[in-house]
Amino acid sequence: MLPAQLLQAPEVHAFNPPRRILMGPGPSDVYPQVLAAQARPTVGHLDPLFVGMMDELKRLIQYAFQTSNEMTLAVSAPGSAGMEACFVNLVEPGEKVIVCRNGVFGERMRQNVERVGAVAVVVDNLWGECVDPHAVEAALRAHPDAKFLAFVHAETSTGALSDAKTLCRLAREHGCLSIVDAVTSLGGVELRVDDWGIDAIYSGSQKCLSCVPGLSPLSFSPAAVAKLRSRKTQVQSWFLDQSLVMGYWGSDTGAKRSYHHTAPVNALYALHESLRLLALEGLQQAWRRHAEMHSVLRLGLERLGLEFVVEEAARLPQLNAVYIPEGVDDALVRRRLLNDYNLEIGAGLGALAGKAWRIGLMGYGARRENISLCLRALEEVLG
């Protein structure tokens, strides 16, 4: 029997959050145009008008990833589902995967490898360092039976950027397919899927695309698709099985789209709009803007005496991790920024919990007025 108070209809007000300035590790500030796009009337997910928008969306994702891969789409779930989609579709039980771990998300990749019943060979780098290509090459040499190399391009837990071009070349030279996490890199730093020979890549809508959270752009190269098609075992996840999902997203065979799951129609309007804005700005200009805004923020943070976790050469412009000064109350500072300035910055994660702040400059958030607010607020709060 339910308690009496649970049988009554709850009386709650509509949720009406204040406008925060999101300068953490994501979600980032969403473009006003993207929020407006999401509020447009819902249509059926097989409505011809919607299907036309999906075709444009696929083209926009291909542009953002710089790929002509036919299997390019947005997974109807957040970045973690994009990660999982790569592992459950491509990696079969017993196969060997070299996994690079230099922060939280490399470790999450390792857990995915284990959960599909495969064997993870971990190449560790310290938190704050980028993945060391020499160590990766040594692991590839030591494990000629490895089938995949998996790494995080932009490690959000530390702010380190790894050399995806070199790592993917090494993978190819050793007969491995590459699986790349581009959740924080897409739209913020140079990323060229076809030129760099990336085989499987996923991202997230809520970082440098400045879209609402909950979608994961994903792309598989023809070699990755061939691996998927030649599996000896069924993909263990029905929802994430990309060969089924492609029946809805459309393939090059011109086959009619069919129902797989109900697409998040309005969220896809939002992604379409955010990628349209990225295309209007131009990818290279977006990369340049992130780099420029990082320089402005860096100068200000250094003036406040804050030290970066990552050395300059490997630093992500869109994720600035700085050490919390000695004797400063981490939680109190972040609470005051939120309450007094409506400003969110990120706490440290994993090994950096309580030791660092993560200041995001992502997408729409990478602009001068945000930087000025953040620097002024930090100066006043740190006294």
Residues belonging to the binding site for substrate are 358
Return d(Cα 82, Cα 84) in angstroms, integer.
5
Label residue 237 exposed, middle or buried (CB < 10 Å: 0-12, 13-18, 19+): middle
Task: Tell which residue, 42, 46, 53, has the closest CA to residue 247.
Answer: 46
Lay out the site mask for ligand PLP across 308-337 (x = CB under 6 A, - = otherwise). Answer: ------------------------------
Q: Which is nearer to ligand PLP, 150 or 183 (CB)?
A: 183
Task: Tell which residue, 260, 257, 265, 258, has the closest CA to residue 240.
Answer: 260
> How many positions of this chain bind ligand PLP (CB under 6 A)?
13
Q: Which is nearer to ligand PLP, 26 or 250 (CB)?
A: 26
| Alpha-helical regions (H) of the chain | 4-7, 32-38, 48-65, 79-90, 104-115, 133-142, 164-173, 222-229, 242-249, 265-281, 283-303, 330-341, 368-382
| Choices 9-17, 76-84, 127-135, 231-239; region in contact with ligand PLP by CB under 6 A | 76-84
Q: What would the two tokens of residue 114 be?
A: 């284990």
78 binds ligand PLP (CB under 6 A): yes
| Choices 36-44, 78-86, 127-135, 273-281; region in contact with ligand PLP by CB under 6 A | 78-86
Lay out the site mask for ligand PLP across 150-169 (x = CB under 6 A, - = otherwise). Answer: --x---x-------------
Could you tell me the smallest distance in angstroms from the CB atom of residue 85 to ligand PLP?
Answer: 12
CA atoms within 13 Å, Cβ hemisphere of 374: 29
Q: What is the DSSP letter of 236?
A: S
Q: Which is nearer to ligand PLP, 80 or 243 (CB)?
A: 80
79 binds ligand PLP (CB under 6 A): yes
Could you tell me the smallest distance in angstroms from the CB atom of residue 190 to ligand PLP?
Answer: 17
Task: Tell which residue, 228, 233, 53, has the closest CA to residue 147.
Answer: 228
Q: Which residue is nearest to ligand PLP (CB)?
A: 79
Could you tell me the smallest distance in angstroms from the CB atom of residue 319 to ligand PLP?
Answer: 8
Could you tell me the smallest distance in angstroms from the CB atom of residue 296 to ligand PLP?
Answer: 23
Burial 194-204 (b: 16+ CB within 10 A, else e): eebbbbbbbbb
CA dihedral 156, 158, 163, 169 (to 10 degrees): -70
Q: Which is nearer to ligand PLP, 70 or 181 (CB)?
A: 181
**Interacting positions 82-101 with ligand PLP (CB under 6 A):** 83
Q: Please compute Rg for the chain using Cα positions.
A: 21
Could you tell me the smallest distance in angstroms from the CB atom of residue 230 to ligand PLP?
Answer: 27
Q: What would the two tokens of residue 337 be?
A: 């920024």
Could you tell me the smallest distance in angstroms from the CB atom of residue 29 to ligand PLP?
Answer: 16
Among 29, 84, 132, 181, binds ligand PLP (CB under 6 A): 181
Where do contacts with ligand PLP occur on this chain (CB under 6 A)? 25-26, 78-80, 83, 105, 152, 156, 181, 183-184, 204
